[in-house]
Amino acid sequence: MAKLIDGKAIAAEIRCEIAADVQALCARGVQPGLAVILVGDDPASAVYVRNKKKACEQTGIRSESYELPADTTEEQLLALIRKLNADPAIHGILVQLPLPSHLDQKTVIHTISPEKDVDAFHPVNVGKIMIGDYDFLPCTPAGVMALLERSGIDCTGKECVVVGRSNIVGKPQAMLLLHANGTVTVCHSHTKNLAEVTRRADILVVAVGRADFVGADMVKPGAVVVDVGMNRRADGKLTGDVDFAAVEPIASYITPVPGGVGPMTITMLLKNTVKSAEKSAETLDRQSSRVI
Ligand code: NAP
């Protein structure tokens, strides 16, 4: 039977540390601020935005939310982002994706200042992750790494297999596992003999977006299994990409869905916002020591 990696508990522990960091920053005269922009009325996105706002409040981060109508023009959206880029009270800017189809996601992401890109989607930040010299880590893969670290799982020398190669999960996940000295294989929809590859994994991270995609036949006994998937069953219940009931008896560690990777994503967003505010505080400290 696998040990359960309790994402909810680990996220709560990290949020306490974040709240302490926020207090320390406030004492230095800087309250971290996050701006969240939502365009349109996608109900799932509205829930994510509400959760982010709540998490900010719990940790002492100031949040501003901008809920824009679905017919917002690209120029209007870009003007708001430029205004927030220039606002010293805002340390992180997040544009909730997906955007309505008339808005170009790439242009929007490129307009966010890399210093405030707490989602780490801007090409400057993506490049920094590649060379291992980063300010912000992409939230979901960083959340996975924190789960592994806090469960005492060392990636050094391990066979790590990532299923999925999206820009927001699979690719950066592979890079972070590589930085943690894992031997990394990335699989996708064209991978041949997928089960043969996944069965080599000591650490298996699954980010496909299909309920019960990974069964026991795809997992090596004793493997660590991290399920990033978030899928809705017909009855509305949230479920992962891993068939939990089948895989749990043979894995050494496993993340549940819900309560695994999910709570970590917002936590890492808060962490990035605090990191950005810390950089601001350092700049202010340097400026004031020059004045003295
Ligand atoms: P995505 O952009 O749709 O990417 C899915 C990946 O799975 C693609 O790389 C695709 O390969 C691969 N794939 C699809 N069918 C496959 C198959 N039969 N065999 C092997 N690989 C296959 O999805 P995503 O944004 O990465 O998200 C993945 C899942 O994670 C979703 O359920 C999403 O909701 C969830 N998610 C959760 C969180 C969280 O906070 N927990 C955050 C983000 C995402 P190709 O590239 O070849 O098409």
Residue 197 identity: V
Domains of the chain with bracketed CATH: 30-113 (3.40.50.10860), 139-263 (3.40.50.720)
Size (the chain), residues: 292
260 C-beta closer than 6 A to ligand 1: no
pLDDT in tens, 56-65: 999 999 999 9
Instruction: Identify the pLDDT of residue 286.
Output: 87
SS3 category, 279: helix
Is 55:118 a contact under the CB 8 Å cutoff? no
Taking the centre of ligand 1 as the mean of its atom positions, its distance from the CA of residue 111, in whole angstroms, is 26
Q: Tell me which of 108-112, 264-268, 279-283 is least confident.
A: 279-283
Q: CA-CA distance, 248 to 261, in Å (whole number)?
A: 16
pLDDT in tens, 170-225: 999 999 999 999 999 999 999 999 999 999 999 999 999 999 999 999 999 999 99
Core vs surface per residue 61-92: b (16+ CB within 10 A) or e: bbbbbbeeeeebeeeebbebbeebbeeeebbb
pLDDT in tens, 21-55: 999 999 999 999 999 999 999 998 999 999 999 99
Model confidence at 287, in pLDDT bands (50, 70, 90)?
confident
Instruction: Identify the pLDDT of residue 288.
Output: 81
Instruction: Identify the pLDDT of residue 292.
Output: 61
Local structure of residue 216 (DSSP, 8 states): G
Asked about 158 being catalytic, the answer comes back as no
Model confidence, pTM: 0.96
Q: CA-CA distance, 214 to 245, in Å (whole number)?
A: 11
Residue 252 identity: S
Ligand 1 pocket test target in 45, 139, 196, 230 with most atoms within 8 Å of CB:
230
Q: Is the peptide bond between 98 and the residue preceding it cis, with omega within 30 degrees of 0?
A: yes
Asked about 96 being catalytic, the answer comes back as yes
Q: CA-CA distance, 145 to 282, in Å (whole number)?
A: 27
SS3 category, 265: helix
Q: Relative to the CA of 261, which ligand 1 atom is closest?
A: 41
Instruction: Identify the pLDDT of residue 290.
Output: 75
Q: CA-CA distance, 190 to 292, in Å (whole number)?
A: 62
